[in-house]
Amino acid sequence: MANDADKKQGDGRQDDGEAAEQWELVNTPLGEKWSGRTRYAAAMFFYKREEMSAETLEVYRICARLDSEDPLPIIRDRGVGRDWLKRIGFE
């Protein structure tokens, strides 16, 4: 049986521990094996929490098979995800 930390809170959002883990994963270093897919999976977490736009998530999807491709400049160049770029500290 799952403990309380593993359960969703009443508003449907998962606990802060899960968000912190997903934040680390969305920032997985470029070039590591499977890192593009890892970043995409973590991006999906933030999208489902309505903390990322569909257009931003699409860039992560496109980059998912490209472990060395940084999605952040692409997001910037497309003119989407300004809030996400600010949150992640990309200028």
Q: Which pLDDT tens digit goes with each residue over 45-80?
A: 999 999 999 999 999 999 999 999 999 999 999 999
* Distance from C-alpha of 36 to C-alpha of 31, rounded to nearest angstrom: 8
* Distance from C-alpha of 66 to C-alpha of 15, rounded to nearest angstrom: 30
pTM of the shown model? 0.82
Q: What is the CA radius of gyration of the chain?
A: 14
Comparing 15 with 86, the larger pLDDT belongs to 86
- pLDDT tens digits, 25-37: 999 999 999 999 9
